């Protein structure tokens, strides 16, 4: 079975555009969560969001391609470009090659669908609907634009699994490389941000509402004053390669994806399940040929919800006891839904590479029931990281866990 490595990473998140900015923000504990004018203008109870820079790089997509490209796609093309650069590749190096693209978005296109519908209803005329609206609202738009822009000939498809979307995209990519079917796969995800996307979550009372005067304090996983999660946008993509492919082109492995696992709760549409969460972590560790005692760090799903955080913490306790360091990078970024799993895998890769753990910011008063846990509240350098896991637990019961290992 082929080993699989990350050789390139690309990021656009609320804490920075590009790897360097995100790396520094993680170390500094910077928050990317701000007041969201569109939420406020539409009278939503939650008025905070993690807002990334969606502006496309002018030297990449031309005017013709931009007609078909929603922000999820433009961010993705830029993130993939950065990932290729880190991998020591150019667009010409991969053009026409049999390279697969696997990714997804979870809930990005409410605004464009709403605007098209309202424009037609109000005017009664089809010309009020943009002729390129269909490709712009396809869930697979980002995957399609990546394949078209870079001229890739391998299979390309979209995965939709709510908050676990991009983690499962990476898991599927690993399976394709392990099987020997591909030497290289581009995998990840993206998410746009709009008030229409937040509407349903507000109706569920799932979003934070208590920190309008201090948005940076609103995402506070594991804190007793948490009151919901914070929606965010962004894009995160990785270049995955087999060991054979890296050696053939004299490339460099950054982090090994050593273990993968996914499962389903099969119990509730929105409430997570500790037993299923525990199982998926154990499976991902075993798939890497490791024991729980080999893992030094868990990048949690950690959304900052009253219900979800305790369930995940119980599952972690069942697997590791108090032997691992625990944080939530969503405290800094908010929840990028379809992009968040891939972003957190990249964050974990950065921490393995530089041997640090980023702080869970806003963790001012940890829940008493989490007293057993090594919750990282401040930047922790020289963390001694060799192996780590990254969790994604989604609405619909889709769970995913990836084990990452430091390259020796």
Tens of pLDDT, residues 108-136: 777 888 887 888 889 998 888 888 888 88
Helix/strand/coil for 241: strand
Residue that has been written with the tokens 């804490």 in this structure: 15
> What φ, ψ does residue 81 adopt, rounded to 5°?
-60, -45
Residue 1's pLDDT band, with cuts at 50, 70 and 90, is confident
Alpha carbons 59 and 185: distance in angstroms, whole number: 24
Residue that has been written with the tokens 């490209």 in this structure: 69
- Reading the block at residue 315, the tokens are 């599952």
Residue 343 has pLDDT above 80, yes or no: yes
Assess contact for 238 and 170: CB atoms under 8 A.
yes
Q: Would the CATH topology of 4-248 be identical to that of 259-406? A: yes
Assess contact for 108 and 69: CB atoms under 8 A.
no
Alpha carbons 2 and 266: distance in angstroms, whole number: 31
Residue of 216, 206, 230, 232 whose CA lies nearest to 364? 216
Residue 61's pLDDT band, with cuts at 50, 70 and 90, is confident
* Average pLDDT value for residue range 20-29: 98
Handedness of CA 300, 301, 306, 312 (dihedral sign): negative
Alpha carbons 352 and 408: distance in angstroms, whole number: 11
Tens of pLDDT, residues 189-205: 999 999 999 999 999 99
- Reading the block at residue 48, the tokens are 């905070």
CB atoms within 10 A of CB 235: 36
* Average pLDDT value for residue range 38-56: 95
Alpha carbons 363 and 359: distance in angstroms, whole number: 9
CA angle 234, 212, 162 (to 5 degrees): 35
First and final CA of the chain: distance in angstroms? 19
* pLDDT for position 395: 93
Residues in the chain: 408
Residue 74 has pLDDT above 80, yes or no: yes
Residue 182, CA distances (Å) to 217, 244, 404 in order:
44, 11, 20
Model's pTM, two decimal places? 0.96
Alpha carbons 229 and 212: distance in angstroms, whole number: 13
Q: Residue 331 contacts by C-beta under 8 Å, 6 or more apart in sequence?
A: 31, 219, 220, 221, 302, 304, 359, 360, 361, 362, 363
Residue of 152, 153, 170, 150 whose CA lies nearest to 161? 170
Looking at 56-187, list the stretches that DSSP marks H as alpha helix, in order from N- to C-terminal side.
63-66, 71-86, 91-94, 110-123, 133-137, 141-150, 165-178
Alpha carbons 221 and 298: distance in angstroms, whole number: 14
DSSP 191-219: E---HHHHHHHHHTT-B--S-TT-GGGS-
Tens of pLDDT, residues 209-223: 999 999 999 999 999
* pLDDT for position 185: 98
Tens of pLDDT, residues 75-112: 999 999 999 999 999 999 999 999 999 999 988 777 88
> What φ, ψ does residue 136 adopt, rounded to 5°?
-75, -25
Kindly state which CATH superfamily the domain 4-248 is placed in.
Thiolase/Chalcone synthase (3.40.47.10)
* Average pLDDT value for residue range 356-360: 98
Q: What is the CA radius of gyration of the chain?
A: 20
Give the architecture-level CATH label for domain 259-406. 3-Layer(aba) Sandwich (3.40)
The residues annotated with a catalytic role in the active site are: 163, 301, 335
Assess contact for 168 and 159: CB atoms under 8 A.
yes
Domain residues of the chain, as ranges? 4-248, 259-406
Residue 58's pLDDT band, with cuts at 50, 70 and 90, is low
Residue that has been written with the tokens 């490595």 in this structure: 5
Handedness of CA 307, 311, 314, 320 (dihedral sign): negative
Residue 333's pLDDT band, with cuts at 50, 70 and 90, is very high
C-alpha 355, offset from chain centre: 21
What percent of the chain has a predicted confidence (pLDDT) above 90? 86
Alpha carbons 287 and 298: distance in angstroms, whole number: 16
């Amino acid at each position: 079975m082929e080993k699989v490595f990350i050789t390139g990473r690309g990021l656009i998140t609320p804490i920075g555009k590009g790897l360097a900015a995100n790396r520094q923000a993680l170390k500094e504990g910077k928050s990317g969560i701000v007041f969201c004018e569109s939420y406020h203008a539409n009278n939503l109870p939650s008025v905070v969001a993690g807002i990334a820079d969606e502006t496309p790089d002018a030297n990449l997509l031309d005017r013709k391609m931009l007609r078909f490209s929603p922000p999820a796609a433009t961010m993705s093309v830029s993130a993939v470009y950065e990932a290729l650069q880190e991998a020591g590749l150019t667009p010409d190096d991969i053009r026409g090659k049999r390279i697969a693209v696997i990714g997804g978005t979870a809930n990005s296109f409410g605004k464009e669908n709403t605007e098209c519908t309202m424009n037609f209803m109000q005017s009664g005329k089809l010309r009020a609907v943009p002729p390129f609206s269909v490709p712009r609202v396809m869930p697979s738009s980002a995957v399609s634009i990546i394949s078209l822009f870079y001229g890739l000939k391998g299979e390309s498809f979209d995965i939709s699994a709510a908050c676990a979307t991009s983690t499962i995209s990476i898991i599927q990519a690993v399976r394709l490389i392990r099987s020997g079917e591909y030497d290289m796969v581009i995998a990840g995800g993206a998410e746009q941000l709009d008030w229409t996307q937040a509407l349903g979550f507000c109706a569920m009372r799932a979003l934070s509402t208590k920190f309008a005067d201090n948005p940076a304090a609103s995402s506070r996983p594991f804190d007793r004053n948490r009151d919901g999660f914070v929606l965010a946008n962004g894009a995160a993509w990785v270049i995955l390669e087999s060991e054979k492919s890296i050696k053939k082109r004299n490339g460099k492995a950054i982090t090994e994806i050593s273990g993968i696992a996914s499962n389903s709760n099969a119990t509730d549409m929105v409430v997570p399940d500790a037993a299923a969460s525990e199982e998926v972590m154990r499976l991902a560790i075993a798939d890497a040929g490791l024991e729980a005692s080999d893992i030094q760090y868990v990048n949690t799903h950690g959304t900052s919800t009253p219900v979800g955080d305790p369930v995940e913490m119980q599952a972690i306790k069942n697997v590791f006891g108090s032997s691992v360091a625990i944080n939530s990078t969503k405290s800094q970024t908010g929840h990028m839904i379809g992009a968040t799993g891939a972003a957190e895998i990249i964050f974990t890769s950065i921490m393995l590479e530089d041997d640090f753990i980023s702080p869970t910011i806003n963790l001012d008063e940890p829940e008493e029931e989490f007293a057993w846990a090594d919750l990282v509240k401040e930047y922790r350098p020289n963390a001694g990281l060799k192996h780590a896991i990254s969790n994604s637990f989604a609405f619909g019961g889709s769970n995913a866990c990836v084990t990452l290992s430091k390259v020796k």
